[in-house]
A = this chain, B = another copy of it.
Amino acid sequence: MLQEATGFLTARQLHERLRRRGEQISLATVYRALQALTEDGHLDVTMGTAGEHRYCRCAGDGPHHHLVCRHCGHTIEIKGALLEHWASLVARQHGFTAVAHRLELEGECATCPTQG
């Protein structure tokens, strides 16, 4: 059902896509499904700068980050062991414990179909 989420989508965007494919699904159901799948760990969630949730279908194989094309939404997963190391080091230097980190990279991908 959420095979559509190959990149980062808002609930509304996913809803629109599904309806265009002919599914008669309602927005509320999309939200509920998204919620359930997120709880099960099948989806990652990030916050857009406009305050909306963005859902992404990621392999649940541990912490990673995302490189997202700002035009087409194409997403690449990044396993940033180096970053995680650096993050916990910096945090410890400042006396912080139980540190979680969140990184998002946004740019323009080389093969962006929406470039023209």
User: Measuring CB to CB, which residues of chain A are less than 8 angstroms from any residue of chain B?
Assistant: 45, 47-49, 51-53, 67, 69-70, 76, 78, 80, 82-83, 86-87, 90-91, 94-111
Contacts and interface: CB of A to CB of B under 8 A. Distances in A.
30 contacts: A45-B49, A47-B47, A51-B51, A51-B53, A67-B90, A67-B91, A67-B94, A67-B96, A67-B99, A69-B96, A70-B98, A80-B90, A82-B86, A83-B83, A83-B86, A87-B103, A87-B105, A91-B107, A95-B109, A95-B110, A96-B105, A96-B108, A98-B107, A99-B105, A99-B107, A100-B107, A101-B105, A101-B106, A103-B103, A103-B104
Copies of this protein, total: 2
A99 B70 CA distance: 9
